[in-house]
Chains A and B, each alone.
Chain A
Amino acid sequence: MKQKQAWQVMACAALAAAVFGFGCTTPRPPRAPVQLDINEVDHTPFGSAEIKQCAAEMGPKILMVPEIARAAETTRIVVQPLRNSSTIMMDTRMITDALKDELMAVSNGKVRFVTSEDREIAQSNMIVREKLEVARDRMLDEVAESILQSPLIANAAKPPVIAVTPALNANFVGLNANSFIAMLRAKIAGRANGKAFFTAPGSLEGADYYLTGEFIAESMKQEGMINLVDYIYLVEERVKAGQSMDVYDSTDTTVSTDAAGTVILTKERRQSLLTEIERSAQLRVEPNVNKFLNVMLIKADNKIAVMEKMFSLDAKLTRGLDRVEYTLTGNIASQSRYVQGYEEIYVVVTFKLIAPETKEEIWGGRYETKKAIQRGGVVY
C-alpha cells in the first residue's frame, strides 16, 4: 500500500515537473521572413506581377505613339488617376506609378511627367518663392549698382542729392510697397562713397533727383488696395471735390450734399467703407500674378525719368500645366465568377492619352488578365 502511494506521489511530482518545465519553455521565435518573387502570379486579383506586366507592356507602346515618337522636344504628360470601376479594392496609383517608372526609366528623357499632387506642388512653389526672395535681394544690389554707375551720377560735377518718394501703384496686397524703395535707398547709400547723397526721409528739399518706382502687375484684374489710410484720404478728397466715392470712377458725377453744402460722408459711412475694404476678398487674397517693380530716377525740376530699371518682385505660381501636352488616364474594371471557393476574375485596365486642346484620344491601350484565385473565408 505504501509502495502504491509512493508511486502516486512520484507520478504527481513528475507531472508537476513536466508542467513546470513547459511553463519555463522559451517561446519560439517567429519564422524568418521569406522574400517572395514580385513577378510571381499570386492570389491577389491584380497583384505585383500584373502591375509590372501592365507597366512593361504599356510603357513602350506609349513611347511608340507617333505624336510622341516624332516629337522634337520632350513630351510632358500629366497623370490623372485611373478610375476604379472594378470590384478590386486597390490604390490605382500603384498602376500609374509603375507605368511612370517604366517610362521614366526607358524613355531617355523623351517623356516627362508633371505632378498633379497638391502637396508636391505646394512644396515646389515654396521653393520657388524662396528662390525669388533671394533673387530679389540680388536684383536690388544690381539696380543700386547700375544707378551709381549711370553717367548721371558717376560723371556728375558734384554729388547729386536724391530724395525718395513713394512708389506709384503701391497697392499690391501682401507687398510693402515703400519698403523696396527704402531698401534700394539703403543699398545705394551703402555703395555711394560720397558719389550721391540722400535727403531726410519725407523731405524733398534741395533734391536733384527723385528716386521712385512703379509697381506693375501682369493682370487684367483690378488691383486691390492695401494702403487704407491713403485710400480713405483719396475717397475723402474725391467726395470733397464733388466726385463719386469710387476711385476707379472717372465720370466725376457729383455726390449729394446737405443743406449747408457739406459733403455727406458721415463717421458711420466712413467706418462702413473701411470695413468694406478690410473684408474685401480682393484685399485678403494675394493676387497670383507676375509682379514687377520699375525703379525710376526722376529729375526734380522737369519730372523727366532719366533712368529706369525694371525687376521682377514675384512670379506667378502655376501648377506647371501650361507645358503639358497630354493627359494620361484610364480605367480599371473587373468581372467575377465564384466557383467552389475560387473566384474567376477578369480584369481589364484601359489607358488613354488625351490632348487637352482638342480633347482627342491620341492613343488607347488595354491590358487584360483572367485568373482563378482561391478565396479563403467569407467571400463578399
Chain B
Amino acid sequence: MKKAYRHGLLAALAAGMMVAAGCSTTYSVDRVNTGGEDSLVFVRPDRYSLLGTRSLRDHIEITYETLTYDQATGYAVVRVGVRNRGGQHFWDRRGRDFNLAAQAAFYNQPVAMIPPQPGASFPSDAKGRQEGGGPGVSTPPVYQAARKTFALPRGQTQHLEFICPIQNVSGYQVVFSEY
C-alpha cells in the first residue's frame, strides 16, 4: 500500500513536471558550431531513397574553386566549376538533371582553414573540396550575393562566378541546394 502510494506520488510529480515544462514561455534553440565547415557546402538532401540518399554529393562534383582579387577594385571574385557526374552507384547509374541554387556569402575572416592570399588563387584538392578544419562561419557576412539558380544536366559543367563588391574580404562560403 505504501509502495503504491509512493508510485502514485512519483507519477503525480512527473506529470506536474511535464505540465510545468509545457507551460514554459521560451525555449532555447539549437545552435550549430560551423567550425570545420568547407567553403563550398551542399545542404542536406530533400529526398531520401531506399538505397542511400539522393544527396547532391552523390551526383555533383566541384571541378575547380578559385578566389582572386580584381586588381583595379580589390573585389573578391570566387569562381567555381560545378559538374553533374551522373549516377555513381549500381542502383543508380544514370543520375538525373538538377535544378540548383547557389548562394555565396563573403566574410571578413576565412571560413575554410587556409586563408586566401590577395591576388592568389588556391586550387581545390583532388576531390574538389577545400581542406576543412577552418573556423567556419561565426560572424554575419559583409556581403551576400543573390541566390543564383541554374540547370545542370547530366555531364555538364556550370562555371559560376561570384563577385563581392566590397573590399578586404578574406572568407566566403558558397551554399548549394536544389530548388
Contacts and interface: CB of A to CB of B under 8 A. Distances in A.
Interface of A: 39-41, 49, 52-53, 55-57, 59-61, 63-64, 66, 69-70, 106-108
Given A59-B165, A60-B163, A39 B73 contact: no
A316 to B, nearest CB: 36
- 6 nearest CB pairs, A to B: A56-B146, A60-B163, A69-B72, A106-B165, A60-B165, A52-B146
A64 B163 contact: yes
Q: Is the interface of A mostly helix, strand, loop or mixed?
A: helix
Contact of A49 (B145, B149, B164): B149
Contacts of A40: 179
B162 to A, nearest CB: 9
Given A69-B73, A108-B166, 16 more contacts: A39-B146, A49-B147, A56-B146, A59-B165, A60-B75, A60-B163, A60-B165, A63-B75, A63-B165, A64-B70, A64-B73, A64-B163, A66-B72, A69-B70, A70-B72, A107-B165
Contacts of B165: 59-60, 63, 106-107
Interface string B134-146: 0000000001011
B44 interface: no
Interface of B: 70, 72-73, 75, 101, 143, 145-149, 163-166, 179
A39 B163 CA distance: 18
B179 A41 contact: yes
Nearest to B167: A108
Contacts of A66: 72
B98 to A, nearest CB: 13
A98 to B, nearest CB: 9
Contact of A64 (B75, B145, B149, B166): B75
A106 B72 CA distance: 16
A375 to B, nearest CB: 19
Contacts of B145: 56
Contacts of B147: 39, 49, 52-53
25 contacts: A39-B101, A39-B146, A39-B147, A40-B179, A41-B149, A49-B147, A52-B147, A53-B146, A53-B149, A56-B148, A60-B75, A60-B163, A60-B164, A63-B73, A63-B165, A64-B72, A64-B73, A64-B75, A66-B72, A69-B72, A70-B72, A106-B165, A106-B166, A107-B165, A108-B166
A36 to B, nearest CB: 13
A60 B164 CA distance: 7
A232 B29 CA distance: 89
A70 B73 CA distance: 8
A41 B148 CA distance: 10
Nearest to B149: A41
Contacts of B73: 63-64, 69
B145 to A, nearest CB: 5
Nearest to A51: B146
Nearest to B145: A56
A218 to B, nearest CB: 40
A360 to B, nearest CB: 19
Contacts of A69: 70, 72-73
Contacts of A39: 101, 146-147
Nearest to B104: A56
B146 A55 contact: yes
Contacts of A56: 145-146, 148
Nearest to A107: B165
Given A41-B179, A66-B72, A61 B163 contact: yes
Nearest to A69: B72
A301 B165 CA distance: 71
